[in-house]
Amino acid sequence: MPQRFASLAEWLAWFETLHPKKIDMSLGRIRTVLERLELVPPPYKVITVGGTNGKGSCVAILESIYRHAGYRVGAFTSPHLVRFNERIRFDGMDAADAELVELFEAIDAKLGDVTLSYFEASAVAAFLLFARRNADVAVLEVGMGGRLDAVNALDADAALIASVDLDHTEWLGPDREAIGREKAGIMRPGRPAVVGDASPPASLEAHANAIGARFALVGREFTFAREGDGWRFDGFGASHASLPVVPFGGDVQYSNMAACVAVVELMRPQLPLPHDAIRAGLAGARLRGRTERRARNGVEWIFDVAHNPSAARVLRRTVDALPPKRTIAVFAAMEDKDLDGVLEPFASIVERWHIARPDSERGASVESVRSKLERLGAAHVLAHADIPAACAAAEAQARPGDRVLVFGSFYTVGPALDALELYSSPPAGGG
């Protein structure tokens, strides 16, 4: 068949409109396409990572550990900060435009009467790339929920659920128990199901027991403890002492790291590796937009995609652990988020707010954000045309020794990093 489009941008625009629903919680269509592409079962081990917060961190940690062990590793994450290519990585490198165009051509040839959403098409492209590149293991981040998310079209050899909190309640249910049932859907009978949430909803373990998954809970089947500047892991007959701490995020990363090491230990029969790979993988893990700290003209900038109350509380604790500084904020978020819960932790520490509407149809208006900030007692709130303008205003206002906090969404942090010309340079360790 003739090539439908020549550029990645054209393919992405087409997939944006191909399926009538942007979010379609069903797996029948994507499974049909995967079967036509002969990707069921996949020719690599699959580790599926779900949770309300911490998914991106866990994917980055597992990806790094297995890469340092010498495995060929694919990683699928979402959303992206600046370029779509970030969503699909192989051996630490983003997929190239030309390769993505070839993948979408191959998918298009197998669609027939089936339509895929943008997210489903990106997931299929990732699964196909990993097969073509002869991956040993693929680490897949759940987009939303778990049971009906596109990545769950592949059976996980191991499932990791980092945390369960309130988010996407209109899709997943009104409370943690309901949300937990959706997230538990990535578990499989007889296979590891690791949970990094120390107080999970009962629905997680209930589902694991019902299907016969190998449930492993932090603080029970495996534990972690801080040791000086590092930490130790104990579980499943293994002990690792004096482990390094990943160079991103705050205290919540201890449970994320422990959950990742638990997965690695439980997957040893299928993916053996030396102890040193765990140490090197933790030290070498990198993740954009999670307490990413940069120095610019004497001003400390912190970028974080925190977009729900639990993530905001974690970010606040992380900031509190840093030396106190006058704090300016750049904020933009989606209108379907609990904005009061995201903003409240920072109302007392931010002196000046620069707000904008994200470049998304779901973006919260500046009027809505302003009214919420004013109810929380914020005295200095300035609205801007877009995120680059908000960043420029914050930079002009900041003095050496100040801190600028940029948070609220991937749609905030990505454009901010790009506007400040910080996107292409590697993130600094720390945080």
Mean pLDDT, residues 375-393 taken together: 96
pLDDT at 362: 87
CB of 88 closer than 8 Å to CB of 126: yes
CB of 268 closer than 8 Å to CB of 309: no
Q: Which amino acid is at 330?
A: V
What is the pLDDT confidence band of residue 425, given thresholds at 50, 70 and 90? very low
- What phi and psi, each to the nearest 5 degrees, are found at residue 330? -110, 120
CATH code, 8-284: 3.40.1190.10
Closest of 134, 263, 260, 127 to residue 191, by C-alpha: 263
166 vs 319 pLDDT, higher one = 319
- What phi and psi, each to the nearest 5 degrees, are found at residue 306? -45, 120
Domain 292-419 has CATH 3.50.50.60: no
pLDDT of 173 above 60: no
pLDDT of 302 above 60: yes
pLDDT at 423: 83
Q: Where are the alpha helices (DSSP H) in 295-354?
A: 309-320, 339-343
pLDDT of 427 above 60: no
| pLDDT tens digits, one per residue of 52-67 | 889 999 999 999 999 9
Provide the mean pLDDT of the chain: 92
Closest of 204, 165, 163 to residue 184, by C-alpha: 204
pLDDT of 307 above 70: yes
pLDDT at 168: 53
Burial class (CB in 10 A: 0-12, 13-18, 19+), 28: exposed
pLDDT of 285 above 90: yes
Closest of 381, 359, 385 to residue 371, by C-alpha: 381
pLDDT at 430: 35
pLDDT of 166 above 70: no
Q: Which amino acid is at 226?
A: R
- What phi and psi, each to the nearest 5 degrees, are found at residue 137? -150, 145
- The residues with which 231 forms a beta bridge, in sequence order, are 226, 243
Chain centre distance of CA 260: 14
Mean pLDDT, residues 89-114 taken together: 96
Check residue 112 and give left, alpha or beta (phi > 0: left; psi -120 to 50: alpha): left
pLDDT at 2: 62
Mean pLDDT, residues 355-381 taken together: 94
pLDDT of 379 above 90: no
What does each C-alpha distance from 337 to 55, 308, 312, 404 come to in angstroms? 18, 6, 12, 22
pLDDT of 1 above 70: no
- What phi and psi, each to the nearest 5 degrees, are found at residue 32? -60, -45
pLDDT of 171 above 80: no
CA distance 209 to 195: 14
238-243 vs 230-235, strand pairing mode? antiparallel
What is the pLDDT confidence band of residue 336, given thresholds at 50, 70 and 90? confident
- Whose tokens are 């590149």? That residue is 133
CB of 408 closer than 8 Å to CB of 331: yes
What does each C-alpha distance from 307 to 88, 228, 254, 347, 370 come to in angstroms? 22, 31, 21, 15, 17
| pLDDT tens digits, one per residue of 408-424 | 999 999 999 999 999 86
CA distance 383 to 389: 9
| pLDDT tens digits, one per residue of 123-149 | 999 999 999 999 999 999 998 778 999
- The residues with which 214 forms a beta bridge, in sequence order, are 192
CB of 360 closer than 8 Å to CB of 294: no
Burial class (CB in 10 A: 0-12, 13-18, 19+), 221: middle
* Domain ranges within the chain, ordered by starting residue: 8-284, 292-419
What is the pLDDT confidence band of residue 426, given thresholds at 50, 70 and 90? very low
